[in-house]
Amino acid sequence: MTIPLHCLGFALTPRFYDHIYLETPAPGGFIRRAPNLDKEVVMGCMEAFSKIAENADEEKQLRDQFVEFQLKKGIYSMPQAQMDDVTMDAIDWWSIYGSQTPELAEVAKKVLSQPISSSSAERAWSTYRHVHSLKRNRLNSSRADKLVYIHTNLRLISRYTDSYKNGPYRK
C-alpha cells in the first residue's frame, strides 16, 4: 500500500481500529494490525496530509486531529462511537462523530467518497493501443509512452476550451 490516498483511506476508516475486527484473523490467517501501527500506512498518511494541506499550519492541524482520532480521545472514546464504527458506513460515521475534528472529518469524507474504478487505467490502455497500432508498431516503448502522455494531456487541456463546453453536441 504505497499510494498515499489509499493509506489515508485505510487509516480514516473507523472499522479498522475496532478491537473485534483486529482480533479476527485476516484472510490467509494473518494477524490484523490497526492502521496506526503500520509504519508504511502512517508515512503514506503524512505524505497525503502534506499534499492536501494548503500550508504548514493546516497540515499540523490535520496531524493533530488525526492523533485525536487514532487515540480515541473525546467524542471518539464514547461507547456509541465505538459501536457505530463497525456497523455504520464510514462516511456516515464521520458525518455524525467528526464534529470534534472538523478539518479531518472533511478530508475523511472526501477521501472515503472517492469511487473505486479502473476506468482511468482502461482509458490509458485504450490510448496506448491506439498509439501502438499495427501501422505504428515500429515505435519503441519510450516513444509510445510519450505519445500516450501527450494524447492524454491534450484531452485534458481540450476540456477547458469553449468549444468543448459549448460545442454543437452539448445540450
pLDDT at 14: 94
pTM of the entire structure? Answer: 0.68
pLDDT at 92: 95
Residue 78 shares a structural domain with residue 161: no
Q: What are the average pLDDT values for consecutive 10-residue runs of the chain, which has 171 residues?
A: 86 92 87 90 94 94 95 93 92 94 94 80 81 72 85 85 72 52
pLDDT at 72: 92
Q: How far apart are CA 34 and CA 21, in angstroms?
A: 9
Domain residues for the domain of 134 are 119-166
pLDDT at 110: 92
Q: What angle do CA 32, 33, 37 make, to 5 degrees?
A: 170
Residue 26 shares a structural domain with residue 86: yes
Q: How far apart are CA 94 and CA 134, in angstroms?
A: 51
Residue 135 shares a structural domain with residue 104: no
Residue 96 domain-assigned?
yes
pLDDT at 164: 72
Residue 52 shares a structural domain with residue 85: yes
Residue 108 shares a structural domain with residue 123: no
Residue 35 domain-assigned?
yes
Residue 107 shares a structural domain with residue 139: no
Residue 66 shares a structural domain with residue 12: yes
Summarize pLDDT for 18-30 with one digit per residue, the tens: 988 889 888 888 8
pLDDT at 135: 65
Residue 99 shares a structural domain with residue 15: yes
Residue 130 shares a structural domain with residue 106: no
Domain-ending residue, one of 66, 91, 112: 112
Residue 106 shares a structural domain with residue 132: no
Split into its structural domains, the chain has a count of 2
Q: How far apart are CA 5 and CA 113, in angstroms?
A: 12
The residues, ordered by sequence, that sit 6+ positions from 125 with a Cβ below 8 Å of its Cβ are none
Residue 50 domain-assigned?
yes
Q: How far apart are CA 80 and CA 83, in angstroms?
A: 5
Residue 171 domain-assigned?
no
Domain-ending residue, one of 73, 88, 112: 112
